Structures are given as structure tokens and as C-alpha cells.
Amino acid sequence: MSRLVTLFLCLFLIVRTSIAGEGMWLPILLSQLNEKDMQTMGMRITAEDIYSVNHSSLKDAIVLFGGGCTAEIVSNQGLILTNHHCGFSNIQRHSTLEHDYLTDGFWASSLTEELPNPGLSVTFLVSMEDVTEKILQGISPDMKGSERDAIILKNRGKVESEASKGSRYKASVKAFYSGNQFYLIMTETFTDIRLVGAPPSNIGKFGGDTDNWMWPRHTGDFSVFRIYANKNNEPADFSKDNIPYTPKKSLTISLKGVKEGDFTFVYGFPGTTQEYLPSYAVDMAANQRNPIAIKLRQQKLDLIDKAMENDKLTRIQYAAKAASVANFWKKMIGESKGINRLDAIEKKQQFEAGFEIWVNAENSRKDLYGNILTDYRQSIEDFRPYHKAYTYLTEGAMGVEIIRFAYGYNNLLKQCREKTTADDEIIKSAAKLKAGVPGYFKNYNSKLDEAIFAKLMETYGKECDPAFLPPIFTEAMAKYEGSYKAWAADVFKKSMFADSSKMNTLLDNFTRKRSKKIEEDPAFLVARSVYAFLQDKLVPVVNSFYLKADSLQRVYMKAQMEMQTGKVFYPDANSTLRVAYGNVKGYSPADAVDYRWFTTLDGILEKENPDVYDYVVTPRLRELSTSRDYGRYADADGSMHVAFIATNHTTGGNSGSPVLDADGNLVGINFDRCWEGTMSDLIYDPDQCRNIALDIRYCLFIIDRYAGAANLIKEMNFATR
């Protein structure tokens, strides 16, 4: 071996165990992989206190909230805390011009006032077990991907059905390390979840989208719900007879706060990360997908923001929609910037060069991994134009509400055309669609949607490669002489999908014959062309790419683990329960700038601006602030701490996760990441990546002093030291 090769190998083989802060670890492996490290960093409890199947542990107080957030139990009566933005769509759904809980907040003063939320659920992890061997039974290394997948699917089904036999828990097998390991996960889901309290938006969303993903932050991002169960303390759908759930474990709250350097950990359900991708995949995400999506979302947000500023009803109608469009928009900007500032692509390329040297150093490796990177690069090159078109279609055309809404009627139309579908089935489908009409139009402004149609379709039509445009574009451009505004105006004037009364006319006593109305509707025609193009021309390529990429990534992941034997790997996030741990720490976002690790209520008054919606401070909060009477919620320094940052590695889904201290006591609620570190889903940088947590004392201060909901505080348990 040449000296250079030896040097490369040394660099890659002698790697540190882990980068401080990086990693989302499996709770069941903590005792094996992380406990020592955590205790060295300051933790005073054990891995068994965090996760145990034999007795109650912290894990029993953590739930997956809805589809994509985390919440934690803080009382023996099933009271849970999550973020305001996690409860947002539920708070929004209960809001009207008369009862505007978004603006004014909501507090139930007794159990009977707590509001049910159909569709909302929370899920507990009951247990987790490595079943890799069972799942890989019958697999040989030279098997084709499709063959392998079929066997795995069968084995999975077997393991799941065996596990759920005679159990009241749901069993599912999930893949880890890109499909190299498998775990059986048993869960229990509760479906009667009621809204207990939410601060007004100018506390819960203070700083709005302007401050989103940024530090210094002053958002009181929390809301309060309660889990209900039947008389046997088991999951049950909503019923007046249900009672508050008695948990196995509820968290103890510490009012001591944290100090710089303190150990903390975040316990929750991170959604998706892709830390082990090759450079080309990162490049496609950061430099192709993100810029297109950012531009289209920016155009949409400009229109929504203007409409919301001018009209109170639109503000309520579009609050949740705007927030979700804006959230990922801003995340993508931060991510692409972070990737470029960190030279992440070059770093990955260097790693890949070292990888090739390692592979070529031995024939057995050459056989297994010799082509992996070239194949991967080629697949991505071939996929790029399709991925681009896919991004334009999903972010452009599908960003228009009427297009998505109209397409929802395609199935009814199909049923009407099929002779085999009986009339009463058609009536059932129409009734189902009719039930969705009021909810859809409650949050719909057709003037605004028309403007969005004109703008997004124009960008899509002009920037996307013509070979990748749905045929409706050519027809429309000929008909409206190149005017997207005229196209939009005509569609919205004539389409019944823009008007609730026309929709009701269609659906009242619906019969087969009326299907013609759907078929001839101009919005439906646009939708049909767009979705047909998606399904016929793009989806097959997208699916086959991801199938191939998944199998390439599996092999590449395996090879990376073989090469870096000294490194402890954590699996990418996949919405399973994880522990991230780190230290409370400020950072330096730019030359000559240092960020402190906490913010205070004084900062809220510094940011106050009565003319800007995001920075309005209510007289009550100002009063509480000037009195400086924070009682037991004050920090030792006398101020009211609002938020703090730490090096915990978190991602979307960790919203609402408890931030726990060295003793396992609740000190904060995770709600965001700092701007400079938003690339951490693709690559983590210990200097820049920070999670943002709401200080639990500010949350309780608002509940207790601002809302006067002392009844809730009474339910909670506090640490004595």
C-alpha cells in the first residue's frame, strides 16, 4: 500500500466514537452504546430510567402526538404538553370569528370544557425488539432487489401477525440503518384527545414566521391537551363517558432551570434524516429541489400574506395553511445555505474518495462495493430531470387548492362511468364528498386561490422543461393567448369547485347523470391533466428511482459501517422514539457575533411592535413583565427565561419533545432549531447545530399567571431539589 493510501485509511478507521451532540439514539441501545458517554457529560440517571420494559420509565410519559409531533405527560390525569404549532390546526379548527381561540387563547376551566378533536391521536411505544435475523431469513447476498423485498415483506407480515396475536397492541416492523436492521415495535394508540389550553397566538406564535427557525427566539410555543380513556383506562374513541387517562409515568418538573454547559436530553419522535447519503444526492436536494420549491412557495406566501393582512376572516382561514407552507420554505433556505457554508458536498466527495480507496484495497470489497458509487451517481444523473419536473408539479400545480380539491372528485366520476358500480354506492360516495364541503369552504378564499393559480401556474409553465408539462398547458396557452391571469379568471368564473353553493347543488340528490358536470368542469380538466401526467409520466420513474436508490443506500450504508469500525453509528430518524443528548451551549453564527444560550421576557418587550402582527404584546403580558413578579418561575438571576439552546440533534417530529435535565426532570419543551444549523438533517455540525427549547418555567408562568389556570399547575409534580 502506498503511504497515501495508508494515511487515508488511518484517517477513516481511527474515528472518534461520536461527535458531541450528534446522533438520535435508540432508547433500547442506550445502556450498550451511550450510557457511559451520557454520564460523563453529566447525566445522573441510568439508561434503565430512560427506557425499561420491566418497570415504568421515562418512555411511558412520551407520546407521538398526531402524525408528526411529540408530547409528554405531566400529570397523573393524562395531561400532556406539546407545542402550540403542533396543536395549531386543532386550535384553528375550534376557532371562528366569535370564538377566536387562535388570537385570544383558550383555557378550559374544568374537564367538561375540554374540547374533543376528532382525528387526533397519541401513540405510546410499548416495547421494541431487534428482529433482524427473522426478517432476513431466506435472503442471500446475491439476490435481486425485488426478490429480496418480496421475502422481507413476507417475513415482516409473519413477525407482525405473530406479535399482535392475542395482544391489544399494534405490531409493526420498521427498517433501520437503511434496511440493514429491523425492529419490531409494539404501540398503543389513544384516540380521545381533548384541548385543555392554548396561549394567544401573540405568545404561542410570537415572532411568527419572521423568527421561525431562528435564534434569539421568544416564542411561547406550547399548548395543553389531555388523553382520555374508557373506564378500564384503555384506548377508546370519544365518548362523554370517557375519563382522564391514568398514565404509568408522568414527568417531574424542575423549576431550577439550566445553566450553560448543563447536560440535557431530548426524548421524542424525530421524523426523517438522511445523514449517510452520497454527495450527489445531497446536491440534488440542496441545489435542485430546494431552489425550485423555495421560489414557488415564496410566490404563494406573498399572496397569502397580503390577503391575510387585509382581511380578518382570511387570517383565520389561512393561518394554519400559511404556517405549514412557510415552515418548510424557510427550512429549505436555511438548509441549502448551511450545506454550502459547510462545504458539505466537498466534504462528502472527500469521504467518497477515501471510500473508493478502502474498497479497492481488497478484492472481496471490490466485488461487493466496487460499483456502488458509480451506480449511485448514474441513477441520480438519470433521475435529475424527472425530479425537477416532479418538484414543479407538486409544489406548483398541487400548490393550488382548487386543483387538489377538484381531483378529489375523480373517483366519483370513475364510479359513475363503471357499469359495475351500483347506484347506492355512488350515492354513498357523493354523500361522503358532501360531508367534506363545509369544512373545505370554511377555510377557503377563492379570490386568493385564483391569484395563486395564476402565479404558480405561470412559473411552472414558463420554467419547467416543456417536454415535462401536462398537455393542458399547451391548450390553455393557445386559448388564452399566453395569459395565465385570463386562464385563472376563466377557470374560477366557471368552475363549481370554487363555490360552495354550486357544490351543494351538484351533490344534493346526486345521480349518475350529473357526472357530466364534473367531467366538463374547467378546474377538473386542469386537475385531470396534471394528475394524469403525474401518474403516467412521473410516478413510475420516481418509484423505480427510489426502489433502486433504497437498495443502493442499503449497500452503501453497510459498507460505511464496515469501513469505520471505530465509529458508533446511529440510524437515520424514522419517526421512532429516540434520545438525543448534548449540552446547553451558545454559538457563533457569524464573524464577531456570539449568541448567548438563553432569552428572557425583556427580549419580548424589545421586539414589541404594535403595528406588526408577529410582534404584538398584549397589555397583560407587558404588565406581568414590568411588575417583575415572576414568583417561583424566576431564574436565579431574577429574570424570566423564555427559551434556551443546546447541542441536541433534533429534527421535525421532535417538536413538543420534552427536554430533560441530568436528573431526568422536565426543564423545557423542544420546538425548533437554529437557522445556521438547519442542514443537520443531511449533515450535523457541532459548531452550528442547536435545538431550541421553551423554558418550562415560562410555559408554567403563562399557564399560572397569565391565564390563571392554577388548576392545571396543581395537577403537576415538581422536583423538590
Give the catalytic positions in this structure: 85, 221, 655
Looking up cell 405510546 gives 124
Give the total of residues touching ligand GLU (CB under 6 A): 10
Q: Closest approach of Cβ 245 to ligand GLU, in Å?
A: 24
Q: Of 396, 653, 664, 668, which one interacts with ligand GLU (CB under 6 A)?
A: 653
Q: Closest approach of Cβ 84 to ligand GLU, in Å?
A: 11
Q: Of 672, 676, 681, 685, which one interacts with ligand ARG (CB under 6 A)?
A: 672
Three cell numbers, residue 661? 435535565
Q: Please, which of residues 623-652 interact with ligand GLU by CB under 6 A?
A: 650-652
Identify what 349 binds: ligand ARG, ligand GLU, none; CB under 5 to 8 Å per kind: none
Identify what 60 binds: ligand ARG, ligand GLU, none; CB under 5 to 8 Å per kind: none
Stretch that binds ligand GLU, among 27-35, 47-55, 400-408, 668-676 (CB under 6 A): 668-676
Residue 323 binds ligand ARG (CB under 6 A): yes
Nearer to ligand GLU, 538 or 694 (CB): 694
Q: Are 249 and 573 in contact (CB under 8 A)?
A: no
Stretch that binds ligand ARG, among 208-216, 303-311, 589-597, 656-664 (CB under 6 A): 208-216
Give the total of residues touching ligand ARG (CB under 6 A): 11
Identify what 650 binds: ligand ARG, ligand GLU, none; CB under 5 to 8 Å per kind: ligand GLU
Q: Please, which of residues 439-478 interact with ligand ARG by CB under 6 A?
A: none
Q: Please, which of residues 33-72 interact with ligand ARG by CB under 6 A?
A: none
Q: Please give the residue whose beta carbon sits closest to ligand GLU in the complex.
A: 655
Three cell numbers, residue 667? 426543564
Nearer to ligand GLU, 208 or 652 (CB): 652
Residue 673 binds ligand GLU (CB under 6 A): yes
Residue 327 binds ligand ARG (CB under 6 A): yes
3-state secondary structure of 95: coil
Nearer to ligand ARG, 388 or 578 (CB): 578
Bridge partners of 716, per DSSP, are 75
Nearer to ligand GLU, 651 or 665 (CB): 651
Give the whole-angstrom CA distance, residue 149 versus residue 489.
49
Query: Inter-axis angle of helices 472-479 and 446-463, to 10 degrees?
Result: 110
Identify what 209 binds: ligand ARG, ligand GLU, none; CB under 5 to 8 Å per kind: ligand ARG
Identify what 651 binds: ligand GLU, ligand ARG, none; CB under 5 to 8 Å per kind: ligand GLU
Q: Closest approach of Cβ 695 to ligand GLU, in Å?
A: 17
Q: Are 506 and 436 in contact (CB under 8 A)?
A: no
In sequence order, the 6+-apart residues with CB closer than 8 A to the CB of 207 are: 214, 217, 218, 219, 607, 614, 615
Distances (CA, A) of 314 to 96, 189, 204, 308, 322: 11, 35, 20, 5, 11
Q: Please, which of residues 386-405 interact with ligand GLU by CB under 6 A?
A: none
Q: Please, which of residues 40-69 interact with ligand GLU by CB under 6 A?
A: 69
Give the whole-angstrom CA distance, residue 649 versus residue 643.
17
Give the whole-angstrom CA distance, residue 324 versus residue 13.
42
Q: Are 640 and 634 in contact (CB under 8 A)?
A: yes
Stretch that binds ligand ARG, among 233-241, 319-327, 436-444, 681-689 (CB under 6 A): 319-327
Identity of the amino acid at 271? G
Q: Please, which of residues 361-420 interact with ligand ARG by CB under 6 A?
A: none
Q: Closest approach of Cβ 269 to ligand GLU, in Å?
A: 9
Identify what 314 binds: ligand ARG, ligand GLU, none; CB under 5 to 8 Å per kind: none
Q: Closest approach of Cβ 72 to ligand ARG, in Å?
A: 17
Q: Closest approach of Cβ 681 to ligand GLU, in Å?
A: 8
Identify what 323 binds: ligand ARG, ligand GLU, none; CB under 5 to 8 Å per kind: ligand ARG
Residue 209 binds ligand ARG (CB under 6 A): yes
Q: Closest approach of Cβ 346 to ligand ARG, in Å?
A: 28
C-alpha 681 chain-centroid distance = 12
Q: Are 260 and 89 in contact (CB under 8 A)?
A: no
Identity of the amino acid at 377? R
Nearer to ligand GLU, 252 or 670 (CB): 670
Three cell numbers, residue 627? 411588575
Three cell numbers, residue 43? 447525566
Distances (CA, A) of 410 to 501, 514, 537: 20, 13, 18
**Within 10 Å of residue 692's Cβ, how many Cβ atoms?**
25
Stretch that binds ligand ARG, among 322-330, 433-441, 546-554, 608-616 (CB under 6 A): 322-330
Which of 685, 665, 660 has its CA nearest to residue 673? 685
Nearer to ligand ARG, 217 or 528 (CB): 217
Give the whole-angstrom CA distance, residue 380 versus residue 541.
12
DSSP 321-340: HHHHHHHHHHHHHHHHHHHH
3-state secondary structure of 170: strand
Q: Closest approach of Cβ 47 to ligand ARG, in Å?
A: 29
**Within 10 Å of residue 121's Cβ, how many Cβ atoms?**
18
Identify what 326 binds: ligand GLU, ligand ARG, none; CB under 5 to 8 Å per kind: ligand ARG
Residue 121 binds ligand GLU (CB under 6 A): no
Stretch that binds ligand ARG, among 222-230, 320-328, 584-592, 703-711 (CB under 6 A): 320-328
Cis upstream peptide for 199 (omega within 30°): no
Stretch that binds ligand GLU, among 164-172, 554-562, 640-648, 665-673 (CB under 6 A): 665-673
Three cell numbers, residue 307? 390577503
Q: Of 179, 278, 582, 652, which one interacts with ligand ARG (CB under 6 A)?
A: 652
Q: Are 143 and 162 in contact (CB under 8 A)?
A: no
Nearer to ligand ARG, 327 or 379 (CB): 327
Which of 42, 573, 64, 48 has its CA nearest to residue 264? 42
Q: Of 114, 572, 672, 704, which one interacts with ligand GLU (CB under 6 A)?
A: 672
In sequence order, the 6+-apart residues with CB closer than 8 A to the CB of 149 are: 547
Helices (DSSP H) in 182-289: which residue ranges?
A: 201-204, 208-211, 279-283
Q: Please, which of residues 315-374 interact with ligand GLU by CB under 6 A?
A: none
Give the whole-angstrom CA distance, residue 35 versus residue 25.
11
Q: Of 212, 223, 576, 650, which one interacts with ligand ARG (CB under 6 A)?
A: 212
Q: Are 373 and 356 in contact (CB under 8 A)?
A: yes
Residue 326 binds ligand ARG (CB under 6 A): yes
Q: Are 218 and 642 in contact (CB under 8 A)?
A: yes
Q: Of 8, 206, 213, 358, which one interacts with ligand ARG (CB under 6 A)?
A: 213
Give the whole-angstrom CA distance, residue 438 versus residue 219.
33
- Going by the DSSP 8-state scheme, the letter that residue 661 receives in this structure is -
Three cell numbers, residue 494? 366557471
Q: Residues interacting with ligand GLU, by CB under 6 A?
A: 69, 650-655, 671-673
Q: Residues interacting with ligand ARG, by CB under 6 A?
A: 85, 209, 212-213, 323, 326-327, 652, 655, 671-672
